[in-house]
Structure 1
Amino acid sequence: MSRRRPGLLTAAAATTAALLLTACGGGSGAAAGGPWKPTKPIEYVAPANTGGGWDTLARSTARVMEEGEVVDRPMRVVNKPGGGGAIGWAYVAGHEKDPHKLFVTSPPIVLVPLAGESRHSHRDFTPIARLISEPLAYVVKDDSPFKTFGDFADELKADPEKLSVAGGSGPGSLDHVGLAGAVQAAGAEPAKVKYVPFDGGGEAITALLGGHVDVAVAGASEAQGLVRSGDVRVLAVSSEERVATLPDAPTLRESGTDYQFDIWRGVMGPAGLTDEQVAYYEKAYADMLDLDGWKKERDRLGWTDAWMGSAEFGEFLDAQEQEFAEILSDVGIKK
């Protein structure tokens, strides 16, 4: 029986291994014949009902990215509301290493776990990119007796338990913290304010319109349509300067309350994504920012570009966790 030389045996084994890896879908994108690309539609999770900030970001970015051809497969938005985002996060966490699952995110991914309302933290996912920021808007019905944020703050100081405030996130999460910080800065006691949580700013404003609460807190982009129609008024926005989409709304500082709060929004994926998969999505979102379609959508919604790539976004989330832990402790709502 003839013998193969060691070199030929090694080469044959290597070739066989490479073929097996390719057939099974294993190895890096380079091993499979080039940079990684999605091979089926991308499930794009908005962890809230339609009409809120997460849903708006998911649908607007999906549409712009598909029209601009910066992704190779369709991005199908799926709403998974509940738990201030926790239901959607649990769903994505159950698809570890699946590069065809993404979700939109914002400060609740840090705040909700800190408040003890989710067993998944930002560390259970892969950061892709931070995209935009926008302020909170503190809104009332058009016929509300409150004409300014100062009027609202004065009533809270006099009888904080008399009023109820709706927010589009869970207790101790984004809208609650943005409300508590502003209330505290105005001289009232945030722990005594009756906060009513909803799954998204759209639901919170609906509760306001239905007369179930006195004030609602939501992202500025979530409120602007009803501001234009005259159904609601904005007492103040939480940004440093007025926003172009709500030009008549004063900032909190203009209203005599020294407080600022920015809502950042971004995209994450399941744990275990490879470097090639992260690089694909990171580049796709970076390319999106240069598209005219994105610039029109961004300006229409009153968003500000706040780009961070995957690595920087991950470091930012770690820093936010420490910062928010201190805030929650200060206002007495950390569990």
Structure 2
Amino acid sequence: MPLTRRLRLAVLPVALSLVLAACGGGASSNAPASPCDTAPDFPRRPIEMIVPWAAGGGTDSVARFIGTQLAERLGTQVNVVNRTGGGGVVGHSAIATARPDGTTIGMATVEITMMHWQGLTELTYEQLTPIGLVNSDPAGVTVRSDAPWADVKQLLAEAGAQPGATTASGTGRGGIWDLARAGMLLEAGLPADAIRWVPSEGAAPALQELVAGGVHVSTASLVENQTMIQAGRAKALAVMAEERLPNFPDVPTLREQGLDFTMAAWRGITGPADLPEDVVGELSCHLDAIVHSPAYEEFMGTAGFGIVWRNAQEFGAYLAEQDAEKGEIMRAAGLAA
């Protein structure tokens, strides 16, 4: 065989291996196909994403958008399944008790740090594996447009002078917006019932009750109350966030009004306990890319939802902080079992 041909044949396998390595494939390559491919054998089959709340709601819509994006990135199906009931207990329990192989994940919500304090379940965030926080919407203080209070200070002054005369709503008793009310009052040095809570089926019916004059205050997120605010039938006195919201630049935070208090409803992707680290790493990496994509920003902006990202480790620390904070407020407000 001519020497030149033997050299060409000898070089061919080397060149082929270099091409495969550049494409992220090939048995001789130790590098992953992409920065997110930390678990080479994952996923082996379709993934189920459990949502503890009903179809059509905010949590469901965010989960379905993320599921679609995640399916494209993983090259498999991501099926969103709504497991409702028990104030979130049923769905969160289904996430926690799933097989820890990455084929079942779920959209956990703030209620995972509240339910056990209420005595609804023994399930806690420690029975979940955090993967990534993807959203947060702070509570607000919304009143009717003709309400006599120009700011939160005036509202709290009246609540202190006439305890129980002012009413608030936004969710059921012990829900996240009830906790926002109680925490704000306690931070102001007032009893937790200085503004009396009127339970409702959610933010929407509470808002209708507000504009009808049935209650005085809604502590639901400004996103949930924005229709009446934009229509001029309600006005926002404050937002319980670290800083003002882009969609409500004229609404001051509680901190700007002398109260160092924040409260928000949030959503994050989790899995059952003992989920393999490489699977967590891959899913968290993909979520990072999704949350920081123009498509997610457009979707969340159109819906009015806030974008907050925390990776797996940061989300885990956040869950611990949230659980301790919720327990402290609920005990002080008489909302703990």
What interval of TM-score do these two structures reach, taking the shorter chain for normalisation?
A: 0.7 to 0.9
Within-5 A mapping of 1:210-289:
211-289=213-291
Judged with a 3 Å threshold, the aligned counterparts in structure 2 of structure 1 residues 242 and 319 are, in CA distance, closer, same or farther, namely closer
Does residue 112 of the first structure (1) align with residue 115 of the second (2)?
Answer: yes
Matched, 1:102 2:105: yes
Once structures 1 and 2 are overlaid, which stretch shifts more, 258-267 or 105-114?
Answer: 258-267
Structure 2 unaligned segments of length 5 or more: list them.
Answer: 1-38
Compared with structure 1, are the counterparts of its residues 156 and 306 closer, same or farther at alpha carbon in structure 2 (3 Å cutoff)?
Answer: same
- Secondary structure of the residue that 1:105 maps to in structure 2? strand
Letter aligned with residue 61 of structure 1: I
Matched, 1:39 2:52: no
Q: Distance in 2 between matches of 1:319 and 1:250?
A: 25
Correspondence list, 1:297-316, <5 A:
297-300=299-302, 301=304, 303-309=306-312, 311-316=313-318
**1:292 and 2:294 correspond:** yes
Q: CA offsets, 1:240-289, max 9 Å, x none?
A: 32111112222223334343334443111234533343333222211212
Do the aligned residues in 2 keep the contact of 1:110 with 1:121 (CA within 8 Å)? yes
Checking the alignment, whether the CA contact within 8 Å between 2:48 and 2:81 is kept in structure 1 is no
Task: Indicate if the aligned counterparts of 1:134 and 1:264 stay in contact, CA closer than 8 A.
Answer: yes
Which whole-Å deviations, capped at 9, do the CAs of 1:158-188 have from their partners, x for residues lacking one?
33323332233651x4322221121223342
3-state SS of 1:322 partner: helix
Separation (CA, whole Å) in 2 of partners of 1:249 and 1:149: 11
RMSD over aligned Cα atoms:
3.2
Which residue identity lines up with residue 140 of structure 1 in the other structure?
Answer: V
C-alpha spacing 1:51/1:154, structure 2 compared with 1 (3 Å): farther
Task: Give the conservation status (yes or no) of the 8 Å contact 1:49–1:81.
Answer: no
- Structure 1: distance between partners of 2:100 and 2:217: 42
Structure 1 position 57 matched with structure 2 position 62: yes
* Change in CA separation of 1:223 and 1:50 when aligned onto 2, cut-off 3 Å: farther
What TM-score, normalized to structure 1? 0.74
Q: Which amino acid aligns with 2:165?
A: K
Q: Work out the CA distance in 2 between the residues paired with 1:205 and 1:274.
A: 44
The answer on whether the counterparts of 1:45 and 1:101 sit within 8 Å (CA) in structure 2 is no
Q: Deviation per CA, 1:60-116, whole angstroms, max 9, x where unpaired?
A: 4345545xx324344444444544422322343453437443332343211221232
For 1:233 and 1:56, the matched residues in 2 are separated by 27
**Corresponding residue for residue 333 of structure 1:** 335
DSSP 3-state at the match of 2:107: strand
Over 3 Å counting, the alpha-carbon distance change for 1:247 and 1:278 in structure 2 is same
Alpha-carbon shift at residue 55 of structure 1 (Å): 3.6
For the residues of structure 2 that align with 1:209 and 1:78, how far apart are their CA atoms?
35
Q: What is the match of residue 134 of structure 1?
A: 137
Stretch moving more, 318-327 or 244-253: 318-327
2:210 and 2:217 in contact (8 A); partners too:
yes
Amino acid at match of 2:187: A
Q: Describe the SS at the equivalent of 2:269.
A: strand
Q: Does structure 2 retain, via aligned residues, the 8 Å contact 1:47–1:89?
A: no
| 1:10-40 C-alpha deviation (Å, 9 max, x unpaired) | xxxxxxxxxxxxxxxxxxxxxxx94211622
Could you say if the C-alpha distance between residues 258 and 322 of structure 1 is closer, same or farther in structure 2, counting changes exceeding 3 Å? closer
SS of the aligned residue for 2:168 comes to strand
Structure whose CA Rg is larger:
2
User: In the superposition, relative to structure 1, how do residues 102 and 184 fare at CA in structure 2: closer, same or farther (>3 Å)?
Assistant: same
Select the residue among 320, 323, 327 that pairs with 1:321: 323
Q: Is 1:92 matched up with 2:95?
A: yes
Q: Secondary structure of 1:134's partner?
A: strand
Match of 1:16 in 2: none
SS at match of 1:118: coil
Alpha-carbon shift at residue 153 of structure 1 (Å): 1.6
Cα distance in 2 between the residues matched to 1:212 and 1:81 = 29
After TM superposition, give the deviation of residue 230 of structure 1 in Å. Answer: 3.3
- Of all paired residues, the percent bearing the same amino acid is 27
Counterpart AA for 2:299: E
Displacement of 1:231 in angstroms is 4.0
* Structure 1: gaps (5+ residues): 1-32
TM-score, scaled relative to structure 2: 0.74
Q: Which moved more, 1:242-251 or 1:264-273?
A: 264-273
What are the within-5 Å matches in structure 2 for residues 189-200 of structure 1? 189-198=191-200, 200=202
Alignment correspondent of 2:165 = 162
Distance in structure 1 (CA, Å) of the matches to 2:232 and 2:68? 29
Q: Which residue of 2 aligns with 1:181?
A: 183
How far the C-alpha of 1:143 sits from its partner, in A, is: 4.2
Counterparts in 2 of 1:263 and 1:306: CA distance versus 1, 3 Å: farther
